[in-house]
Structure 1
Amino acid sequence: MPIRQTYGGLGDACRAANALDLVGDRWTLIVVRELLLGPKRFADLQESVRGITPAVLTDRLRALQQAGIVDRVVLPDLARTRAYLVTDWGLGLEPVLAALGRWFSAGPSPDTAGGMTPDAVVVAMRTMAPPSPAGVPRIVLRLHDARRADPPVQHFHTVAHDGVVLVAAGAVADPVATVTVDSSTWSGVVFGGLGLIPAVEVTGDRDAVASLVSLYAAAT
């Protein structure tokens, strides 16, 4: 196997170049994206990172662990499930992904095709966080990826933070509304102007959900 050359090994002291030695390989930042909002099992990552093979995923996770960006953890469930989670340092890659998303959006061909995982659409919502000076009601998002067979449902919720809408992982008690929808459809609602189509199941205050969607529509 050939020795992998790195920018650092070639004498390039640029810190951006040395960062690319850690996260510049294909799939690496996508693996990180899928772990920013909470831990995932290997099988879940393989389903979420479209097109990656088990061998490549194993390689990327090993490299991320060696770099201190990802840790292997044991979940507090009865099965003591092994999973992967980004470290505190690894969390610093979220604004990097956000900057890449904003950069692409400002380009000559910002339209994309395909779907979005629950984590991907929530990271995008955090990237495009609209102002909310009056606060934001607590809305729970129950998102799943309909492209998967028997997809798990992931829970997120809206909160106000520093005058903008923030979407965080997990559910909250007594939300004003709960939204249940495929994550790709929700991306179209929030960013594509679909509106609250029938595929979006809303329990509770539908007007509050419509107001949330309108905040993103005004900001994009």
Structure 2
Amino acid sequence: MRGTLNLSRSRVKIAANIAEGRADVPIKHTYAEHGDACRAANALDVVGDRWSLVIAREVVLGPKRFADLLASVRGITPSVLSERLRTLQAAGVVEPVVLSDLGRTRAYQATPWGRGLESVLESLGRWYSAGPSPETAGGMTPDGVALAMRTMAPPGWSSGPALALTLHDGRLSDPPSFPYTVDSDDGRLTVTPGLPAAARTSIRADATAWSEVLFGTTSLAAAEHDGGVVVGGDRSEAARLVKAFRTPAA
């Protein structure tokens, strides 16, 4: 019975490939079809394909338009993005939504189950950081930096006025801006989508430049001088935030 079921699934995949003009694409079998009941292995059937976790990273904090995802998921093609979104939607990881703008724009967001992948991304980031070569090259997306801040949030963050953080991806020709609120909750720093109702300090920055200030070797003053970071209002709060992330504990 098991062999018959697997054969039927393969035939369905072959038919789908033929219908899409991809008859020469090798059929991929799932871990379940190979008889592996490990739930970690079966999770890889859902998000183990190239790009899938990166797409999830970009929709965990809020909805993104197809064009936003195409720009943020570096190297992906429109056809592959469409295929991955269909697969993730069928698996229950993402769902389509209609934004409340005048154009009623279609977008994609993580489902409640899909948002659970943030802890997976956090664990992967910490695992890679503990490896023999944790250095990386390239840039960061706004939500990528926001998630990194949540992952590496320094302990014992003292309560204070919320900061308004607005990030954009300077690698794009006309990048959209993404707003966040940096605040505290029971002694832990929080980063949430959307600007605070009131803020004494505002930070506008290129996402990569801001990541280099928090996690790299660029000083806040140097980033301000280069124009990658612009601080408004009480600069001491921005400096306090940077110092917290630069401590060895963080």
TM-score, normalised by the number of residues in structure 2: 0.86
Is 1:202 aligned with 2:231? Answer: yes
Which residue pairs with 1:166 in the alignment?
Answer: 190
Which residue pairs with 1:84 in the alignment?
Answer: 108
Give yes or no for contact 1:132–1:160 (8 Å, CA) kept in 2. Answer: no
Which residue pairs with 1:109 in the alignment?
Answer: 133
Give RMSD over aligned pairs.
1.1
Which of 70, 78, 93 is the matching residue for 1:46? 70
* Amino acid in the other structure paired with 1:213: V
DSSP 3-state at the match of 1:91: helix
Unpaired runs of 5+ residues, structure 1, are none
1:202, CA displacement in angstroms?
Answer: 0.7
1:60, CA displacement in angstroms?
Answer: 0.6
* Amino acid in the other structure paired with 1:146: G
Is 1:100 aligned with 2:124? Answer: yes
Percent sequence identity over matched residues?
A: 56
Which residue pairs with 2:14 in the alignment?
Answer: none
Which residue pairs with 2:240 in the alignment?
Answer: 211
Question: Separation in 2 of the partners of 1:116 and 1:132?
Answer: 26
Question: Separation in 2 of the partners of 1:94 and 1:136?
Answer: 26
Q: Which has the higher contact order (CA 8 A, sep 6+)?
A: 1
Question: Separation in 1 of the partners of 2:156 and 2:93?
Answer: 32
Q: Describe how 1:28-47 pairs up with structure 2 within 5 A.
A: 28-47=52-71
* Amino acid in the other structure paired with 2:54: I
Question: Separation in 2 of the partners of 1:122 and 1:133?
Answer: 16
Deviant stretches of 4+, over 4 Å: none
The structure richer in helix per residue is: 2
TM-score, normalised by the number of residues in structure 1: 0.97
Q: Number of residue pairs matched? A: 220
DSSP 3-state at the match of 1:140: strand
1:194, CA displacement in angstroms?
Answer: 1.5
DSSP 3-state at the match of 1:120: helix
